[in-house]
């Protein structure tokens, strides 16, 4: 689906810092985990924004803040223009209904002692105003049908389903309150490759059917490609590059995105010929000890003295500002440039 111009979510300067403590009896703060460290983006109505990044870069923390499961340390989240981080009581509850989360692991996120009907209908216990009591069972069965499961399964337990079916149950629960926004945190990572596409296709169909806006999180750039209108790449708590699907995949300008993409297989042999394989060295720094200036510089082959001093802004790099081409999208690099990268599987040498 393509986006309209109207934003449904506007995220600005979003931060989540956790205190890092030592000791059990006398907790002493010895540092700060900067899980999310200044994130900005907008999500258009009807749009799908994919967020990708390595383990620990803050994706789930971001998702939880959007769904009001974690309070931000700083920054704002606007839903249809209203800052939801400042709401409480009834107003907060009303907004919560509208932004629902689908979790990563269908094996651990569904209570094994509850029937499928109770799991999908649980949101109605929290929001009784959403459906009259006598109507709930019928609604749950309709939701099962909507996600492609037999409505007669309503009294079964999670262990009686496959991984893909369980994720459908999780999606049905996410839809129960008829939200406008779905935040899906790695919705297919725990599933077999053969089942991943089915769940992605289901999400795609539901989006059209229920006019949903999606934020879909993944480790892997190839998973979000199929459904995203735009993609944001996260590194150590920040978005380092964001743009339309084709801009990010075919014209990445941030070295980190280029490195991630060089690990994604590309079927087109013509495109392959012009690509270069990039292997990142070193580990991701700890979120308790983020490098000064550009946080990617410790692993970047282009890093210069300026990168240690100046935090690069997430903006269209000046050298692309006058062009309307696909490289002219937001990238947080002092030395942003277009680069074609070679896919990993096409080369014999593994990661170095």
Ligand X SMILES: Nc1ncnc2c1ncn2[C@@H]1O[C@H](COP(=O)(O)OP(=O)(O)OP(=O)(O)O)[C@@H](O)[C@H]1O
- The site for ligand X, by CB under 6 A, has a size of 13
Q: Within positions 111 to 140, which residues make up the interface with Mg ion, using CB under 5 A?
A: none
Q: Could you say whether residue 35 binds ligand X (CB under 6 A)?
A: yes
Which listed range, 41-49, 51-59, 294-302, 318-326, lies at the site for ligand X (CB under 6 A)?
Answer: 51-59
3-state helix, strand, coil in the chain (%, to 5): 35, 20, 40
DSSP 304-351: -HHHHH-PPPSB--GGGTT--STT-SEE--TT-----B--GGGSSS--
DSSP class of 155: G
- Cα 263 to Cα 121, 209, 257: the distances in Å are 41, 34, 10
List CB contacts of 106: < 8 A, sequence separation 6 or more. Answer: 158, 163, 166, 167, 169, 170, 190, 191
Q: Within positions 209 to 238, which residues make up the interface with ligand X, using CB under 6 A?
A: 219
- Nearer to Mg ion by Cβ, of 51 and 206: the residue is 51
Q: Could you say whether residue 106 binds ligand X (CB under 6 A)?
A: no
Q: Could you say whether residue 96 binds ligand X (CB under 6 A)?
A: no
- Nearer to ligand X by Cβ, of 14 and 33: the residue is 33
Q: Could you say whether residue 165 binds Mg ion (CB under 5 A)?
A: no
Beta strands in the chain (DSSP E): 7-22, 28-44, 48-52, 74-79, 82-83, 99-102, 181-185, 213-218, 230-235, 238-244, 330-331
Smallest gap from Cβ 61 to ligand X, in A, equals 3
Q: Could you say whether residue 335 binds ligand X (CB under 6 A)?
A: no
Q: Which does 48 bind (CB under 5 to 8 A by kind): Mg ion, ligand X, none?
A: none
Q: Could you say whether residue 60 binds ligand X (CB under 6 A)?
A: yes
Which listed range, 50-58, 118-126, 243-251, 255-263, lies at the site for ligand X (CB under 6 A)?
Answer: 50-58
User: What is the rounded CA–CA span in Å between residue 240 and residue 256?
Assistant: 8
User: What is the rounded CA–CA span in Å between residue 212 and residue 50?
Assistant: 14
Q: Could you say whether residue 253 binds ligand X (CB under 6 A)?
A: no
In 3D, which of 264, 280, 263, 258 has the Cα closest to residue 225? 264
DSSP class of 204: H
- Cα 78 to Cα 240, 261, 295: the distances in Å are 21, 31, 27
User: What is the rounded CA–CA span in Å between residue 144 and residue 150?
Assistant: 6
Q: Could you say whether residue 187 binds ligand X (CB under 6 A)?
A: no
Smallest gap from Cβ 241 to ligand X, in A, equals 16
Block residue for tokens 């795609």: 204
- Nearer to ligand X by Cβ, of 53 and 252: the residue is 53
Q: Within positions 2 to 21, which residues make up the interface with ligand X, using CB under 6 A?
A: 18
- Nearer to Mg ion by Cβ, of 59 and 254: the residue is 59
Smallest gap from Cβ 34 to ligand X, in A, equals 8
Q: Within positions 52 to 91, which residues make up the interface with Mg ion, using CB under 5 A?
A: 59-60
In 3D, which of 255, 343, 235, 257 has the Cα closest to residue 303? 255
Selected binder of ligand X within 11, 33, 190, 221 (CB under 6 A): 33
Selected binder of ligand X within 8, 43, 52, 57 (CB under 6 A): 57
Q: Which does 255 bind (CB under 5 to 8 A by kind): ligand X, Mg ion, none?
A: none
- Write out the residues near Mg ion by the rule CB under 5 A: 59-60
- Write out the residues near ligand X by the rule CB under 6 A: 18, 33, 35, 53, 55-61, 219, 287
């Amino acid at each position: 689906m393509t986006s309209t111009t109207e934003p449904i979510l506007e995220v600005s300067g979003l931060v989540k810092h956790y205190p890092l403590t030592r000791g059990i009896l006398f907790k002493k703060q010895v540092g700060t985990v900067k899980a999310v460290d200044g994130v900005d983006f907008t999500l258009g109505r009807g749009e799908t924004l994919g967020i990708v990044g390595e383990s620990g870069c803050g994706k789930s923390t971001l998702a939880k803040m959007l769904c009001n499961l974690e309070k931000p340390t700083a920054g704002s989240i606007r839903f249809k223009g209203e800052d939801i981080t400042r709401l409480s009581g009834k107003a907060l509850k009303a907004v919560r209904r509208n932004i629902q989360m689908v979790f990563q692991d269908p094996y651990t996120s569904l209570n094994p002692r509850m029937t499928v009907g109770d799991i999908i209908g649980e949101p109605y216990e929290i929001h009784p105003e959403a459906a009259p009591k006598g109507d709930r069972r019928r609604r749950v069965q309709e939701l099962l049908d909507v996600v492609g499961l037999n409505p007669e399964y309503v009294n079964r337990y999670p262990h009686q389903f496959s991984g893909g079916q369980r994720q459908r149950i999780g999606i049905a629960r996410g839809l129960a309150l008829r939200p406008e926004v779905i935040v899906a945190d790695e919705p297919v990572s725990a599933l077999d490759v053969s089942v991943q596409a089915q769940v992605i296709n289901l999400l795609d169909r539901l989006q059209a059917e229920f006019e949903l806006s999606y934020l879909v999180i993944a480790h892997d750039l190839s998973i979000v490609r199929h459904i995203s209108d735009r993609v944001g790449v996260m590194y150590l708590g920040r978005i380092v590059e964001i743009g339309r699907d084709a801009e990010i995949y075919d014209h990445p300008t941030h070295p980190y995105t280029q490195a991630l993409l060089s690990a994604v297989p590309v079927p087109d042999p013509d495109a392959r010929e012009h690509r270069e394989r990039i292997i990142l060295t070193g580990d991701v720094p700890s979120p308790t000890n983020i490098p000064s200036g550009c946080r990617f510089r410790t692993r970047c082959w282009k890093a210069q003295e300026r990168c240690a001093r100046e935090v690069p802004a997430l903006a269209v790099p000046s050298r692309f500002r006058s062009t309307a081409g696909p490289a002219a999208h937001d990238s947080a690099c002092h030395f942003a440039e277009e680069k074609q990268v070679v896919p990993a599987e096409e080369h014999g040498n593994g990661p170095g």
